[in-house]
Structure 1
C-alpha cells in the first residue's frame, strides 16, 4: 500500500512539472515563435534553447547599443543588423551555422561598444 501511494505521489509530481520542463519557448527576443510562417532559421532558434538565449543576448545588446550611439551612427548600426540577419537566414536550420552567426555578431556589437567614447 505504501508503495502504491509513493508511486501515485511521484506520478502526480511528474505530471505537474512536465510542462515546466518543456524545451520549447513561446518566443525569442526578436520574433514570435508562435507564428505559423516561421523561416527555417527561426524554427531552429525557437526549438533550441541555447540559440534562443543567443537571440535574447543579441537583441538586448543591439537595443542597448542603439540607444548609446550618436544618431548618425544608428543607421550604420541598423544596416549592419539587416546584413547580419541575411547571413543568419542563410543558415536555415543548421545549428552550428546559426551559433557561429550569433557569436560573430555579438563580437561585432561588443567591439562597437568598446569603441564608444564614454564619460569618465
Structure 2
C-alpha cells in the first residue's frame, strides 16, 4: 500500500509540475463542451489533483491486474464516472466521489495476491 501511494504521489507531482494547467488527468479542460463536473474539476486545483491521483492509481493497477479483474475494475470505473457526473458542479459531492473511488482502488491494491 505504501509503495502504491508513494508511486502515485510521485507521479501526481510529476504530472502537476509538467502538465499544462488546461489539462486534468482524464480530460481536456479547454474543450468547449465541458460537463458541469468537469468544469468544477478544472476550476478547483484540489479536485484536479484528485483526478490526476485517481487516474494515475487506476492506470498503475490496470497494469498489475489480470485481464478479468482489469475488466471488472474498468466496469466499476464507468459506474463511478456516472456517479461523479451526477454531482454536477457540486464540489463537495465530487470530492466525496473521488475519496470513495480512491479508497476502492486502494482496497483493490491491498487485496492483490503477491508472490511469497
TM-score normalized by the length of structure 1: 0.79
- Residues 1:76 and 2:72 aligned together: yes
The residue aligned with 2:55 is: 59
In the alignment, structure 2 segments of 5+ residues that lack a partner are 1-19
Local SS of the residue matching 2:107: helix
Could you list the structure 1 runs, at least 4 aligned residues long, displaced by more than 3 angstroms after superposition. Answer: none
Bigger Rg over Cα: 1
Q: CA RMSD in A?
A: 1.1
Q: 1:31 aligns with which of 21, 27, 33?
A: 27
| Gap runs ≥5 in structure 1 | 1-23
Equivalent pairs, count: 97
Map Cα deviations across residues 41-96 of structure 1 (whole Å, 9 max, x no partner): 00000000000000000000000101101111111000000000000000010000
Equivalent runs, 1:87-98 vs 2, <5 Å? 87-98=83-94
Aligned: 1:117 with 2:100: no
